[in-house]
Chain A
Amino acid sequence: MSTTLGDLAGYGVGGRLQTLAALIPASRSIAVTADGWAVISAMGGGAGGTKNWTPGNSAGWGIKGIQVKAGDVIGFAIAAGGAPTQSAGVAAAKGGDTVITLNGTTIAVAPGGEAGPANNTTKSPVTAVPTGMDFWMPGRQPQLPLNYFMGGAAVDLGGGTIATPSISGDSAVAPTPNVLVGMPVGSLFAPFDVWLSSAAPGSPGVGATAGISSSLFGGGVGTSDTTGTAPSPGRGGSAGATSNTSVAGGAGLGYIRLYADVS
C-alpha cells in the first residue's frame, strides 16, 4: 500500500480522528500513540545576511502523509537560519535543512535557501528541492532587480513572491488585491495552518521593513543604513544585504497532524 497524501484523501475523513495538530518551531520528537496517519509539513532555513553581495535564497517546503503505528517516533530536526556575515566580500551563507525522520530513518528533507553568490551582479539559482514530499515548493530568489542593498527573499507559499517599494524584504502575500503575485490576504496557508491576515509589515508572509521584522516567511531588510541591526526575515526567509549589522536567515519550521484510525 502506498503512503501518500493522495491515499489519505482517498480514504476520506471518516474512520479517522485527529489527535494532534502542532506547530514545530524547534527540533523535537513526536511519539505516535495510535495507529493511523501523520501529515507532516517541513520548511528549511533561509540564507543568512550579507554585507554587500546579493542575498541568498529562501527555503523550500513540502508536505507528506505517512501511515504510522503506535510507538513510532517522528523526528523534526528544524533548520537553523543561515549565519550572518559581518565582513564585506563574504557571500551569504546557506540556510540549514529541516530533516524529518521516522524511527531514526530520514523520510523527507526540506532544504535551506541557497547561499548567495560571491558578487552583486548575479543571483544564486534555486537548485535544492525538497525530497520525500508528496507536494512541495522550492525556495525563491530575492525579487528586486540587482543592486547593492537588496532585501531578502520570501518563501514561496504557492503564489510566488514579490518585492514592493514600501517594504524592504520580499513578501509572499500580495500587497494589494489587484496584484496577482503572492497569496491573497485572508487566505490560509494550510500546510502550516497560518492565516495570512494582512499585507501590513509584521503579518505572516509580509517582508521585513524599517523597524519591523517579518513574523513568518517574509524576507529580511536590505538597507544602506549604517546604524543598528537590519530587521530580520521570518521563518524560511533569507536575510537582506546591509551596511549595518547583518542578521541570520529565518529558521525552518515544521507542522504535524496526527490521525488515529477508529473502528
Chain B
Amino acid sequence: MKNIEILDAAGDVANTIFAEEEWAEANYPGMWREAAMQPAEPDPAPAQRHVSVGAFFDRFGAAKWAILADESAQVRAVVRDASVRKFIDLDNADLPMGLAIIQAAGHQIDPEAIVDAPVRAEELP
C-alpha cells in the first residue's frame, strides 16, 4: 500500500490517496504516480540475542574450564543458574550481575565482550 498522487488533466496533483498501485491504475488509468513521501514503515522487531548455554560458556574463552570447576558458592550458583536454562538471553538484566560475581572471584573475563559480541549462527540455541 502506497501514497498515490492522483493527477488532473494538466498533470498537477489533485489528491493524494492511500492505495495499491493496481487499484490506482484501475480507477485512475494513467493519471497517478507514487508520492515522494510514503507511509512510515513499522520499526523492525528487535532481534533476540539468545545463545545456547554451551556457546555462552565458550564466550568465557580460556577461563571457561576454571569457571566451570570453581566450587565457590557464588560462582557455582551462577554456573548452575546458567546450566539449567534452555538458552542464555544476552539482554537479560541479571546477566551483568552474574558476570560480575565470576569476575570478583578472580576469573579473567571480559563481561562487555561476552554480552555485546554479535550472536553468530553457530551460537544459536
Contact = CB atoms under 8 A, between A and B. Distances in A.
B108 interface: no
B77 interface: no
Interface in A237-253: 247-248, 251-252
Interface residues of B, number: 19
A86 to B, nearest CB: 10
Nearest to B36: A83
A96 B16 contact: yes
A4 interface: no
User: What is the interface of chain A mostly: helix, strand, loop, or mixed?
Assistant: loop
Contact of B16 (A28, A80, A101): A80
B18 interface: yes
Looking at chain B's contact residues, the main secondary structure is mixed
B100 interface: no
Question: Which interface residue of A75, A96, A248 has the most chain B CB atoms within 10 A?
Answer: A96
A153 B3 CA distance: 22
B51 interface: no
Interface stretch (B20-28, B53-61, B68-76, B114-122): B20-28
Contact of A247 (B15, B19, B24, B40): B40
B29 to A, nearest CB: 11
A98 B18 CA distance: 9
A108 interface: no
Interface of B: 1, 3-4, 6, 15-20, 23-24, 26-27, 35-37, 39-40
Interface of A: 26-29, 45, 75, 77-80, 83-84, 96-99, 101, 104, 229, 232, 247-248, 251-252
The 4 closest A-B pairs by CB, nearest first: A27-B19, A83-B37, A96-B16, A80-B3
5 contacts: A27-B27, A77-B17, A96-B16, A101-B27, A248-B37
Given A79-B17, A80-B17, A248-B37, 13 more contacts: A26-B1, A26-B18, A27-B24, A29-B27, A77-B6, A80-B18, A80-B39, A83-B16, A83-B35, A97-B15, A104-B27, A232-B40, A248-B40
